[in-house]
Structure 1
Amino acid sequence: MFIGHFAVGFAAKRIAPRLSLGTAFMAAQFIDLLWPTLLLLGLESVRIAPGATAVTPFVFEHYPFSHSLVAVLGWAVLLGVGVGAARRSARVGGVVAALVLSHWFLDAIVHAPDLPLAPGFETLVGFGLWNSLSATLAVEVPLFAIGVWLYASSTRATDRTGRFALIGLVAFLAVIYVGNLFGPPPSSVRDIAVLGHAQWLLVLWGYWVDAHRRAVEAREPMPIQPLPASRSSS
């Protein structure tokens, strides 16, 4: 899953208007932002095997520190407490923790059984939606559309940048998604790690978009026109 995680980040604005889109992206994608570093350090491993599934050519061999359920719970608590304390908002912290945790459950829907429950455990989880390209598209594309709609309807652009930066971000995510689905696989694991770190640019893009939009926490009332002053009869 790729745009599905960003969909959840977009949608979080409806629940926590004070949460920046950049922070929401960072939380929703946190374990995939961590994973490339662990690959480069040799602590986790992946193998490129074209045809492994209908959607992705990757075989995730070992990633207990970034993608096991217990580890993700730990990252969720750590990031949620940190952001909540920084923003002095338990609500924001709770939403951030939920976003981090959501990544594992969304991955469990699409992955082959390769997600560990905890480091050292042999039990692996995954429902294998990636075995069907059409089923993956049927789930992920509507999810992305709903997430974008929730964000766009919960905010208003304060200038042209706020409008067009959001349109550009959505279009760029769609292009990356299509490229991931139909483009050639990376030539090496190092390339995967390097490209994975580039996702931080999407986090920065989220902060840029949100800086030029304001949250609309409730439906704005229609302005009330004052009644004309009555004339006193002479």
Structure 2
Amino acid sequence: MFLGHFAVGFGTKAIRPRISLGMLFVSVQFLDLLWPTLLQLGLEKVEIRSGITAVNPLYFVEYPISHSLQMAVFWAVLVGGIAFVFNKNLKIALTLGLCVLSHWLLDLAVHIPDLPLYWSESSPKVGLGLWHNVWLTVAVESLLFMGGLYQYLAATTARNWMGLYGLWGLVALLVLIQVGNLLGPIPQHVEDIAWGAQLQWILIAWAYWVDTHREIDVV
């Protein structure tokens, strides 16, 4: 899942307009922002196996810190708790925590059974395997993304050209990344995957910037 996660970030802006789109992107992608660093530190493992699914050539050997259900709940509580300390707003804290947890739930739909339930080698692993079907994956992610983007557009208005073209530039980049993931060459080295995943911080910075150039239409 890629576009689907960002769809949650876009859509949640309409529900909690006080939260920056950048912070929403951090929350919905929090597990995947942890993962490349843990991969580079040797704390989690992935292998490149062409054909393991029709969509994704990665076999996630070990990633309990970032992607077990147990730790996803922990990270959700942590992010929500930090948000509450700074904002003293329970609704904002709960929203950001749920955004973190949404990542695991969406991954559950697309992954093959490689998501551990808890941090242990003996943990059962789950996944509904949507990635085995390219067209179904594309359809589900596209519908989620269009729905989330529609809600964001309905809840905000561009103040200037940066809020307009900056948003559509961000949308175009997200779609191009998705197309590249689907149609591009299979990565040859795990290090390239990790560094590529770190580039998500550009998307987050871009989202923060765009959001400062858009006005809230809902309270």
- TM-score scaled by length of structure 1: 0.92
Aligned counterpart, 1:39 = 39
1:186 counterpart = 2:191: no
Identity, % of aligned positions: 50
Tell me the CA shift for residue 85 of structure 1.
2.3
Alignment of 1:69-108 (within 5 A): 69-108=69-108
Rounded Cα–Cα distance in structure 1 between residues aligned with 2:31 and 2:216: 27
Cα offset, 1:45, TM superposition: 0.2
Q: TM-score, normalised by structure 2?
A: 0.98
| Aligned match of 2:5 | 5
Residue by residue, what CA displacement relative to the aligned partner does 1:144-188 show, whole Å, maximum 9, x if unpaired?
A: 000111011101111110011001000110000000001012121
Q: What is the RMSD of the two structures over their aligned residues, measured on CA atoms?
A: 0.8
The reply on whether 1:176 has 2:147 as its aligned counterpart is no
Question: Residue 200 of structure 1 aligns to which amino acid in structure 2?
Answer: W
CA distance in structure 1 between the aligned counterparts of 2:176 and 2:83, rounded to whole angstroms = 31
Larger Rg: 1
Structure 1: segments with no counterpart, 5+ residues = 219-234
Q: SS of the counterpart of 2:79? A: helix
Match of 2:142 in 1: 141
5+ long unaligned stretches in structure 2: none
Q: Which whole-Å CA distance do the structure 1 matches of 2:13 and 2:85 have between them?
A: 19
Tell me whether 1:163 sits opposite 2:164 in the alignment. yes
Q: Residue by residue, what CA displacement relative to the aligned partner does 1:181-233 show, whole Å, maximum 9, x if unpaired? A: 01012121111110111101111011001000111115xxxxxxxxxxxxxxx
Q: Which of 111-120 and 89-98 deviates more? A: 89-98
Q: Deviation at 1:118? A: 0.4
User: What are the superposed Cα offsets for residues 75-109 of structure 1, whole Å, 9 maximum, x if unpaired?
Assistant: 00000111232123211111100000000000000
Which consecutive aligned stretches of 4+ in structure 1 deviate over 2 angstroms post-superposition?
A: none
Q: Note the alpha carbon deviations across 1:38-57, whole angstroms, 9 max, x for none.
A: 00010000000111100000
Q: Kindly provide the amino acid, as one letter, of the partner of residue 37 in structure 1.
A: T
CA distance in 2 between counterparts of 1:76 and 1:176 reads 26
Distance 1:209 1:84 in 2: 24
In the alignment, the residues of structure 2 paired with residue 84 and residue 204 of structure 1 have an alpha-carbon distance, to the nearest angstrom, of: 22
Secondary structure class of the residue paired with 2:215 = strand
